[in-house]
Amino acid sequence: MNLRLLCSTVRLQMKQSFSRPMFRFTLIAGPVLNTILLYEMFLSSGEENFFSYVVLGAGLMGIWGCICFSSAGDINRERYMGTLALIFAAPAPFRKTILGKIIGNTLLSLLTFLVSLLTAVILFGVKVRIAEPSHFLVAFAVTIVSFISISSVIACVLTLSRKTELYMNLLELPIALLCGFVFPLELLPPFIRVISYALSPTWAVRLLRRSVEGGTEPSLFFRELLITLVLSAVYALLSLLLYRLIEKHVRIRATLDVA
């Protein structure tokens, strides 16, 4: 029953998002540009693994951009379309509907990886080299989970405010930097790195890189895998608690619509 609700929300969201020019731009043009830029930077960076630096970097930035635009932006868009109030007042639990939207957007945004990969292969004719394919698959799945869990906390907080557009733009770059999507964490001062370690995508990204580059002790890989999963679970729990609060709060503060 609820699975059907989830699936139909995921479908609706993918249809909706894909039909928006802005989303298509973030999904396709964004990764192409990022891949080209990162490639140029790669050439003079002394980094070794092209796939890890360019494709993963551009792909992750792309995914995150899509999630920011959609999961945060969609709440505002629905607020202005008057559908936020409708989904809020429907018997289906609001948090599940929002979760469906986030999953839909995240799945769609995975395309950025493909786009960035294709760009790299076609434009620069590079060979893809993944040292530990099975680890990579696990890391990829965990990355999706970690993105979904962090977006769900963000989306839920944003329901409360009418200034979502602002916050969403504010969040995009810092998270990309803090989680080390492109640049290594070691470039950040230690006291800021503390924040990075509390963000689940940081660990997921690390797993991705390790599996691509290879040469990691399996025990280390699995320890970091566990950390990613635990952090994601903490986020999921947090958003569950937040939704409880927010379902009351939006009605007290009247932020469901703009009328």
Partner 1 sequence: MEAVIEAKDLRREYVTRRGVLRRTKRVVKAVDGISFHVERGEIFGLLGQNGAGKTTTIKMLTTLLAPTSGVCRVLGRNTFGEEKQIRSRINFIFGGEFGVYRRLSARDNLRYFAHLYLLEPEVFEPRIGQLLEMVSLADRADDLAETYSKGMIQRLQIARGLINDPEILFMDEPTVGLDPVGARMLRDIIRRLKEDGRTVLLTTHYLPEAEELCDRMVIVNAGKIVAGGTPAEIRGSHESLEEAYLSLVGAGEAATPA
Binding residues for partner 1, rule: CB under 8 A, are: 1, 4-5, 8-9, 12, 15-16, 19-20, 81-83, 85-92, 97, 248, 251-252, 254, 256, 259
Buried b (16+ CB within 10 A) or exposed e, 99-124: bbbbbbbbebbbbbbebbbebbeeee
Shortest distance, CB of residue 11 to partner 1, whole angstroms? 9
Token readout for 108 is: 């769609």
Shortest distance, CB of residue 254 to partner 1, whole angstroms? 6
Give the residue with the Cβ less far from partner 1, 86 or 170.
Answer: 86
Give the residue with the Cβ less far from partner 1, 91 or 125.
Answer: 91
Q: Which residues contact 41 (CB under 8 A, 6 or more apart)?
A: none
Shortest distance, CB of residue 123 to partner 1, whole angstroms? 32
The answer to whether residues 126 and 56 touch, using CB atoms and an 8 Å cutoff, is: no
Residue 70, CB half-sphere, CA atoms under 13 Å: how many?
38
Determine the longest span between alpha carbons in the chain, in angstroms.
58
- Positive or negative, the Cα torsion across 19, 121, 209, 46? negative
Shortest distance, CB of residue 244 to partner 1, whole angstroms? 13
Q: Is 180 helix (H, G, I), strand (E, B) or coil?
A: coil
Token readout for 137 is: 């698959």
Give the residue with the Cβ less far from partner 1, 3 or 219.
Answer: 3
Shortest distance, CB of residue 231 to partner 1, whole angstroms? 31
Give the residue with the Cβ less far from partner 1, 49 or 161.
Answer: 161
Shortest distance, CB of residue 28 to partner 1, whole angstroms? 18
The answer to whether residues 109 and 144 touch, using CB atoms and an 8 Å cutoff, is: no
Give the residue with the Cβ less far from partner 1, 186 or 259.
Answer: 259
Token readout for 201 is: 């995508």
Give the residue with the Cβ less far from partner 1, 15 or 129.
Answer: 15
